[in-house]
Amino acid sequence: MKTADLVQLLISGIAMGSIYTLMGKGLLITFLTTRALNFGQGDFLMIASFLSMTLLLAGTPVVVAVVVVLAVLVVLGVGLERLAIRPLANMTAGSASSLAWILTTMGFGMLLQNTAQLVWGKSRFYSPPLFADEQKKVVELMGARFYLEELIVALVAMVVVGVLYWFLFRARWGKEVAAVSFDKGTASLLGIDVRRVVATSYAIMAVLAAVSGILAGPLTTVQAHMGLLFILKGFAVVCIGGFVNPVGILIAGIGFGIVEAMSNYVDSAFGDLYPFIIALLFLIVRPSGLFGEFKADVR
């Protein structure tokens, strides 16, 4: 493989990997505050991709489109918490109570999938590029060639990751999340409005899914059932990265993306399965992930 191709593959891998990172972070955020994940987060991404695509094709300026998509998804995120997560906390222990949120968030996601199917149909769509004027615009830099779109996607995703990092570790909200994640009662005793923190975390998850969807649309095809792959990869990434550390998720995400790009190059028939298998093996060997702490499940 020529170096030029290698660089291009790397950029490709980093671009998609950074999107997986964003997905992983979305899963992490809600896990911190509610010990639950949005199993339909991939479907959130899908809605964002479709909305963004439709608005852009209709000629809406990018900034406006982004704002609209973010707004819609935040509503969905807050709605999900209200509808599929909060009511479960009050229910007495049933047979599946500790796993009920998996089923409710999955159900919510299915509603989104059907909506997309009805509005846009079941075919695959091509979303216009956000940053380059044409889909496959190639840039040459120091002898290496790569797609401009992918490069900028990677950069934008990194910026979002950075912003999230700032939110979590510097801003007040992040400290509140740490308190709520530690113990909700204690957080209340510190004057923290736990409900508000929880709702905000779901809104942030939705924002991350929205950004992922907006960025991912042009890089892949948009389809009503595209969400499954993204949730699987997002989850693989957050498991490998460890359920506590955003830096770990970043490393895991980029790594996953690069492995995926390489595997597809090497084996175009089954290459997309390799990263999953590697992730599965990794998890069997080291269930706590790269940086996580495995807490013994003593009930």
137's tokens? 């615009």
Pinpoint the alpha helices (H) of the chain. Answer: 3-34, 41-57, 62-80, 86-89, 100-120, 148-169, 172-182, 184-189, 194-216, 227-241, 246-266, 274-285
Question: From the CB of 287, what's the least distance to other proteins, in Å?
Answer: 5
CA Rg value for the chain: 19
Looking at residue 9, its amino acid is L
Query: DSSP 3-state assignment of 142?
Result: coil
Q: Does 4 bind other proteins (CB under 8 A)?
A: no
Tokens of 214: 């907006």
Check if the beta carbon of residue 181 is closer than 8 Å to that of residue 32.
Answer: yes
Give me the residue label for tokens 């830096």.
247
Q: How far is the CB of 282 from other proteins (least distance, A)?
A: 12
Nearest distance in Å: CB 32, other proteins: 10
Spatial separation of the C-alpha atoms in residues 41 and 45, rounded to whole Å? 6
> Taking every pair of C-alpha atoms in the chain, what is the biggest distance, in angstroms?
64
Shortest distance (Å) from residue 19 CB to other proteins? 18
37 Cβ contact list (under 8 Å, min separation 6): 27, 30, 31, 101, 102, 105, 235
Contact with other proteins (CB under 8 A) among 6, 67, 75, 110: 110
Question: Is residue 117 involved in binding other proteins (CB under 8 A)?
Answer: yes
Q: Please say whether the beta carbons of 237 and 256 come within 8 A.
A: yes
Nearer to other proteins, 16 or 236 (CB): 236
Q: With contact defined as beta carbons under 8 Å apart, do 176 and 192 qualify?
A: yes
The reply on whether position 145 binds other proteins by CB under 8 A is no
DSSP designation for 129:
P
Among 2, 61, 186, 267, binds other proteins (CB under 8 A): 186
Residue 104 interacting with other proteins (CB under 8 A): yes
One residue of 5, 183, 267, 293 binding other proteins per CB under 8 A: 183
Q: Binding other proteins by CB under 8 A: which of 62, 89, 266, 270?
A: 270
Q: Is 266 in the site for other proteins (CB under 8 A)?
A: no
For other proteins, give the closer residue by CB, 140 or 297.
297
Residue 193, interface with other proteins (CB under 8 A)? yes
- 236 contacts 167 by C-beta, under 8 angstroms: no
Cβ of residue 136: shortest distance to other proteins, in angstroms? 26
Nearest residue (CB) to other proteins, 131 versus 173: 173
Q: Does 103 bind other proteins (CB under 8 A)?
A: yes
Kindly state whether residue 113 participates in binding other proteins, applying the rule CB under 8 A: yes
Residues 227-246 vs other proteins: string with x where CB under 8 A? -xx--x--xx--x-------
Which residues make up the interface to other proteins (CB under 8 A)? 37, 39, 83-84, 87-88, 91-100, 102-104, 106-111, 113-115, 117-118, 172, 175-176, 178-179, 182-183, 185-186, 188-194, 228-229, 232, 235-236, 239, 269-270, 272-273, 276-277, 279-280, 283-284, 287, 297-299
